[in-house]
Amino acid sequence: MRQPLPFELSKDSSFYDSLGDWLGDTLYDVLPEKGFECRDEQIFMAYQIEQALKEKNVLFAEAGVGTGKTIAYLLPAISYARYTGRPALIACADETLIDQLVKEGGDIHKLRDVLELNIDVRLAKSRDQYLCLKRFEEAEKVETDEWIDDIAFTIPEEVYAAGPMTKAVPYGERSDFPSVSDEDWQKVNYNAVMQCAVCDMRNRCGQTLHRMHYRQSTDLIICSQDFLMEHLATKESREREGQLPLLPEVSMIVLDEGHLLEYAAQKAMTVKIQASTIVGMLERLMVDGVRERTLYAMETLQDHHELFFDELRDCLEDSLEDRKRINKSPRLLAIGKKVVEAVDQLLEEFVFESELYMIPEYDLNMAEEFLEQYVAAMRIFIAQGDAVDWQENTDGEETLVIMPRLITDVLQEKLFTKKLPIIFSSATLSVKKDFSYIAYSLGIKNYQSFSVPSPFDYDEAMKIYIHEMTQPEKVKKVQELIREGEKTLILFKSKQAMMQFKAGLSMMDRMHVAFEGDRELSAIIRDFQEGTIQTLCSYHLWEGLDLPEEALTRVVVYDLPFPPQDPLFDAKRSFAENPFEEVELPFMQLRLQQGMGRLIRTSRDHGDIHILLNEEEAKVRTEFEGILPVEPS
C-alpha cells in the first residue's frame, strides 16, 4: 500500500518546495531537539540531493566522514519514493554492508522512531547470498558435519510438500546461518553457473520468495552494487524470456560508496564457463525425435569444448593468487575458433528444431540464450582485445572467467541516459575536488557535484602511529597491541594476507580474535559491537563499517592496501602510461582513507590508528602521509 508523504502538500507550492521546507524543519529543528547534531554540511548535502531529484540528474556528493550522509539521502529518498509511487534503491558498496544499514540502532531505525515514520525497507541481496536447493541436496549426500543439519532444519516443510506454495515465508538467506563458515556456505549457495530458469524447484526456492518480498517495498530497497549491476546486465534477456527483472522499477538510485561502481559493473558483466556446463545442458536437449544433424552438432560442440579445457589447463601460470593468468597458446586460440564455429552451427540447427517442437520450447529457449552468451564470451577471448580473462576455481570446478574491460558504453546506455536521479555518496569521489576522472571512467557526461569536508576535529579525537619493521615483526607488534585491550579492527589488503597473519598468531592470542570467514560476517560484527569479541580481522571492511564511540577505538592497517597482482589489475596496469601513478597509488590512497575513516564516526568518538610498514612499504611513506587526517606521532 502506498504510504503518505511525511509532510503536507499545498496548492500554492510544488512537491520540491514542500520537500525543501520539510528538510529544513527536520534537520534544523526536529532532529536536534531529539539529540541529533545540527551539521551544516549534512543540510547542504540534503538540499543538493533535492535539486538533483528536481532535475533528474546525476549528483556526485562528496562529503567527509561525520557529515551524516546516510540521513542526508534517506530523508529525500523516502519522500521521493512516496511522491512517485516507486521505491528508492540504495546500492551499498559490498554485500556485507547491507545488514549494517538496517541494523537496530542504525540511521533508518532512528528516523523511524524519532519522526514516527513507518519506513518500509527491504533487502535485495545478491543471488549467492541465498541457499540453492539443488546444491544443498547434493551436499547433503556427502557432508556429515552439524552445519548441514542446521540448514536442513530451517527449510519450511511446504518446500517439499505437494501442492502450491501458499504459506512459506522467505528462507535460506546467508545471514540466517551465522555459525556456518564461508567455505561451507559456498558448497550450498547459488553460484553463477546454475541454470535457475530450468530448475524444477525454482518456484519453491528461497531466493524466489525473497524476490517477491522485496519487490513489494513502497519506500526503500537496499542491495549491493554488484546486484544492481547484475540486474542491469540481465534485464533485457530476462524480459525476453518472460521473466521479471531482478529489481523492480525504482524512482531514484543512491550509490553508497559510489566510487566502487566501476568494479561492480565489470564484475556483473563477466561470463563464467565450466567444462561440465555445456555437457549437462546439451544432454537435457538430446530427447527422442531430435534431428540427426542437430545431434551431430551437439556432439561436435561437446568435443571441441572438452578439447578447449584440456588445452586451457596447460596454459595456466603457476600462482598463489585465486585468479590464474592464461598464456594463450596458438593451439588454444585455434580450438576456441572451432568452438565458436560449432556453436554457430548448433544455433542454426535450433532454428529448425523450434519448428518441430520435439525439444521442449522452454529448454530450447534457455539453451539458445546460454549459447549466445557463451559464444559472445568466446569471441572476446580469442580476439585478444580489450578484455580480461583468467581461470579460477568455482564450486570445485575449473572455471574460465571472461570480463570486458571497458564498461562506459554499457553504463551510459543502461543507466546514465534514463533521466533517473542517481546520487553518488562517498567521502572520496574527486581528485582535489575535480570529479572528471570518475565521470570519465563511468561514461557520465552530465552531472552535478559538490564537496564538503568532515566536521570533526581530528587533532583532538585521533592519533596516528606509523611503525616501520620487517614483515615477520608485524605479527609480534599486533600481538602487543591486542594485549592492550582496545576494541581493535585489523585491516588486511587480501584474504591471503589475513590468513598468513592468522597462521603466525599464537594459539592464546587467536582465541580472542575473530576472523572474517569464520562465520557469517554480520553476525561477527554484532558480537564485536556488543563486546563479545575484542579484536576483528577483516579484508573487506575498509568501507562502510559504522561502529561509534567505545565500540571501536583502534584501527590497525596491517599492510598498505595496494591492488592484487591478478589479471584484472594487470589489465588496468597494461592500459596505463604510468601504472604506479594511475592504478597502484590511487587505489591504495583511496582504500587507506576509507580504512582510517572507520575510527571516527561521531563527535564523541576517539582512538588511534596504527599503520605497519615493511621495508618495501616504507619506501612509499611520503606518498600517503599527505592524506592522513592528522600528523603521525
Three-class HEC string of 231-280: HHHHHHHHHHCCCCCCCCCCCCEEEECHHHHHHHHHHHCCEEEEHHHHHH
Residue 295, amino acid: L
- Cα(42)–Cα(60) distance, integer angstroms: 14
pLDDT at site 406: 64
List of residues 6+ apart from 276 with CB closer than 8 A: 397
pLDDT at site 149: 93
pLDDT at site 395: 63
pTM of the model: 0.74
Residue 203 domain-assigned (yes or no):
yes
Residue 236 domain-assigned (yes or no):
no
Q: Which of 193, 216, 239 is the last residue of a domain?
A: 216
Helix (H) or strand (E) holding 452: strand 448-452
pLDDT at site 168: 67
pLDDT at site 491: 97
Sign of CA dihedral 583, 584, 588, 589: negative
Helix (H) or strand (E) holding 423: strand 422-426
pLDDT at site 1: 66
- Residues 396 and 502 placed together within one structural domain of the fold: no
**Among 158, 150, 5, CA closest to 85:** 5
Strands (E), 525-614: 535-538, 554-557, 607-613
Q: Which of 216, 232, 254 is the last residue of a domain?
A: 216
What single-letter DSSP state applies at residue 317?
Answer: P
Residues lower than pLDDT 50 in the chain: none
Domain, as residue range, for 138? 126-216
What single-letter DSSP state applies at residue 493?
Answer: S
pLDDT at site 182: 86
For the record, the C-alpha cell of 227 comes out as 546486484
pLDDT at site 167: 67
| DSSP-derived pairing of the beta strands 387-394 and 397-404 | antiparallel
Cα dist from 553 to 89, 462, 549, whole Å: 32, 9, 7
- Residues 171 and 285 placed together within one structural domain of the fold: no
What length is written for the chain? 633
Residue 2, amino acid: R
Note whether 404 and 379 are within 8 A (CB).
Answer: no
Rg (CA), the chain: 26
- Residues 477 and 399 placed together within one structural domain of the fold: no
- Residues 577 and 482 placed together within one structural domain of the fold: yes
- Cα(7)–Cα(19) distance, integer angstroms: 8
- Cα(92)–Cα(254) distance, integer angstroms: 8
- Residues 608 and 488 placed together within one structural domain of the fold: yes
Q: Which of 404, 431, 448 is the last residue of a domain?
A: 404
Residue 568 domain-assigned (yes or no):
yes
Residue 167 domain-assigned (yes or no):
yes
Give Cα 615 to chain centroid, integer Å: 33
How many CB atoms are closer than 10 A to CB 163? 6
- Residues 354 and 480 placed together within one structural domain of the fold: no
What single-letter DSSP state applies at residue 326?
Answer: B
- Per the structure, how many domains does the chain have? 3
Residue 500, amino acid: Q
How many CB atoms are closer than 10 A to CB 625? 13
Note whether 257 and 127 are within 8 A (CB).
Answer: no
